[in-house]
């Protein structure tokens, strides 16, 4: 196992974030994801074409160019079609999602888990608060809603601890974010406030892009620094590190995965959604190895949430507190 070095761990603990250059292999680790999502986009394009919502499937274009044209032609956001998690409310039996084998292999990538193990130990649970973010240039986003805006547009200032329930406040949740395409400042890379994880949990107000935002008067945003990444770079974030994303003002999509892990047995903060044992030194037989089994967990969850009409709540925040006035 090749974990984090002592200096890397020290930086993570001191600053609340750590960038790992070229941890994932663009060809071996990322190209299979792109290939799998090509098929997802083919299906979406065909469905929209048959419904008369687009005049072409744009099959001759690259993945990013097709996404941009389809979003622009329909004037709609299709983020949920690609995501490997369900929305926080109004789940239907046909709510789209993508839980394919390439996604599962990314979540369980051994090199990734080796680094995660350095932070949270060898009993690693895949936390189900996770997303794919395929962000087109923001000039093409016309019909955003709070439920999906953070998946395709600017992400508000927040802490990942702030978007889950209080039962996970004592859980050692690690955010693992990585680029599938480059994320320059122009393309809307993440920004972080170094050391902010030591300042406790900030109030989050409903209504920002993505649904929640730390009010400006509570967080000194002038301390923020951008963290541009190349595809294959991986960014670790403490659950209380304040971060957001810049606007994508480029001509290309910005594509990333946003994963979370915590020690086995600790609350995920969204227990209605299915996690799994990604690695266990104590009980290797408990590790989930079958991507079809993982996908089935999500299908079963979708049916249960739709049958029971469970709508949350999945976070703690109300708009009637003084900081949100």
Longest dimension (CA), the chain: 57
* Domains recognised in the chain with CATH numbers: 14-308 (2.60.120.620)
Alpha carbon separation from 294 to 108, 206, 304 (Å, rounded): 11, 32, 16
Query: Tell me, what's the pLDDT at 145?
Result: 46
Per-position pLDDT tens, the chain of length 325: 799 999 999 999 999 999 999 999 999 999 999 999 999 999 999 999 999 999 999 999 999 999 999 999 998 889 999 999 999 888 999 999 999 999 999 999 999 999 999 999 999 999 999 999 999 998 887 654 444 556 677 889 999 999 999 999 999 999 999 999 999 999 999 999 999 999 999 999 987 766 789 999 999 999 999 999 999 999 999 999 999 999 999 999 999 999 999 999 999 999 999 999 999 999 999 999 999 999 999 999 999 999 987 766 677 898 888 889 7
* Closest by Cα among 263, 191, 159 to 19: 191
Calpha distance 153→140 (Å, rounded): 10
| Whether 42 contacts 34, CB under 8 Å | no
Does this model's pTM top 0.85? yes
* Closest by Cα among 227, 218, 244 to 156: 244
Does the bond joining 313 to the residue before it have cis omega, within 30 degrees of 0?
yes
Calpha distance 213→134 (Å, rounded): 21
Query: Tell me, what's the pLDDT at 308?
Result: 87
Calpha distance 40→9 (Å, rounded): 37
Query: Tell me, what's the pLDDT at 85?
Result: 96
Query: Tell me, what's the pLDDT at 88?
Result: 85
Query: Tell me, what's the pLDDT at 148?
Result: 53
Alpha carbon separation from 17 to 100, 199, 253 (Å, rounded): 29, 14, 24
Query: Tell me, what's the pLDDT at 154?
Result: 81
| Whether 279 contacts 117, CB under 8 Å | yes
């Amino acid at each position: 196992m090749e974990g984090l070095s002592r200096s890397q761990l020290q930086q993570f603990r001191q600053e609340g974030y750590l960038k790992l250059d070229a941890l994932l292999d663009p060809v071996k680790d990322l190209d299979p994801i792109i290939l799998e999502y090509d098929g997802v986009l083919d299906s979406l394009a065909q469905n929209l074409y048959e419904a008369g919502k687009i005049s072409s499937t744009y099959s001759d274009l690259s993945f990013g160019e097709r996404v941009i044209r389809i979003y622009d032609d329909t004037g709609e956001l299709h983020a949920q079609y690609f995501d490997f998690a369900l929305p926080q409310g109004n789940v239907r039996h046909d709510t789209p999602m993508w839980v394919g084998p390439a996604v599962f292999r990314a979540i369980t990538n051994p090199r990734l888990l080796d680094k995660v193990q350095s932070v949270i130990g060898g009993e690693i649970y895949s936390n189900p608060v996770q997303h794919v973010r395929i962000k087109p240039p923001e000039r093409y986003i016309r019909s955003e809603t709070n439920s999906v805006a953070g998946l395709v547009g600017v992400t508000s200032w927040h802490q990942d601890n702030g978007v889950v329930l209080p039962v996970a406040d004592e859980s050692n949740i690690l955010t693992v974010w990585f680029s599938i395409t480059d994320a320059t400042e122009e393309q809307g890379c993440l920004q972080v406030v170094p050391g902010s994880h030591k300042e406790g949990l900030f109030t989050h107000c409903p209504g920002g892009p993505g649904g929640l935002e730390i009010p400006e008067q509570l967080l000194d945003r002038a301390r923020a620094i951008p963290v541009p990444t190349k595809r294959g770079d991986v960014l670790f974030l403490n659950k209380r590190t304040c971060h957001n994303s810049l606007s994508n003002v480029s001509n290309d999509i910005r594509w990333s995965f946003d994963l979370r892990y915590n020690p086995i047995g600790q609350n995920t903060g969204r227990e209605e959604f299915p996690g799994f044992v990604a690695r266990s030194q104590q009980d290797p037989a408990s590790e989930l190895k079958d991507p079809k089994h993982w996908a089935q967990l999500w299908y079963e969850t979708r049916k249960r949430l739709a049958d029971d009409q469970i709508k949350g709540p999945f976070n703690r925040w109300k708009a009637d507190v003084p900081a949100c006035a």
